Amino acid sequence: MIDELIKKIREDKENRDRFETIFIERQVAARTVLLNEGEIACYIHFIKNGCLRECFNKDGKDITFQFFFEGQPVASIDSVMNNTPSLFSIESIEPTTILSVKKQDFEMLLSTYPELKDKFQSFIFQRFSNYARLFLSRIKDTPQERYEDLVKNQPNIIKRIPQHYIASYLGITPVSLSRIRNRK
């Protein structure tokens, strides 16, 4: 999505100067927090390379509920749109390059390029679908079934994400994940 947006801006002679400066490119080290739980989000981030996660802390326990990779936008949507404290944190898992844009600038982009609004909206719907599947999986599937589904449907997570984050995402302990993996 970000590559398409940048290409569109560069090709648009009328708006190029106005939009090329709104993106802030940053390289962040692994374990860099971009947004803390409880803060009000001001930015939408696009991942050029690397990986981010959304997580929260429950009684001292770190819980991961979403991973994001190259080309994906990441934000605390509720916080950005409603100017409310974020319910979760956003953190890099590996060294990551992001392009960040402020909410008002992003809204201006979407009004200028409505076709991108449809793509962004599709991404949001897909994200909610992912949350619903994760929620239902936690209710109906065993930890073994959740792991097997992850291996089958999201192998990039298995290849790139540290085991303790995968365990947290699956709702199990790292020891339980190790047992499940050793059964294979």
The confidence score (pLDDT) of residue 118 equals 83
Same domain for 9 and 93: yes
Pair 137, 65: CB distance under 8 Å: no
Of the residues 133, 151, 170, the one at which a domain ends: 133
pLDDT in 10s for each residue of the chain, 184 residues? 667 777 777 777 787 777 778 889 999 999 999 999 999 999 999 999 999 999 999 999 999 999 999 989 999 989 998 999 999 999 999 999 999 999 999 888 888 888 888 888 888 888 888 888 888 998 999 999 999 999 999 999 999 999 999 999 999 999 999 999 988 6
Same domain for 180 and 157: yes
Same domain for 181 and 116: no
* Strands in the chain per DSSP E: 24-28, 33-35, 43-49, 52-58, 61-68, 73-74, 89-92, 96-102
Same domain for 109 and 153: no
Structural domain including 13 reads: 2-133
Same domain for 65 and 29: yes
The confidence score (pLDDT) of residue 116 equals 82
Please tell me the total count of domains within the chain: 2
Same domain for 105 and 181: no
Report how far residue 30's alpha carbon sits from residue 50's, in angstroms, rounded to the nearest whole number: 9
CATH of the domain at 118: 2.60.120.10
The confidence score (pLDDT) of residue 1 equals 63
Same domain for 43 and 90: yes
Same domain for 156 and 121: no
Of the residues 113, 133, 153, the one at which a domain ends: 133
Same domain for 172 and 93: no
The confidence score (pLDDT) of residue 2 equals 67
The two tokens of residue 183 are: 């059964």
Same domain for 146 and 103: no
Same domain for 15 and 95: yes
Pairing of strands 73-74, 24-28: unpaired
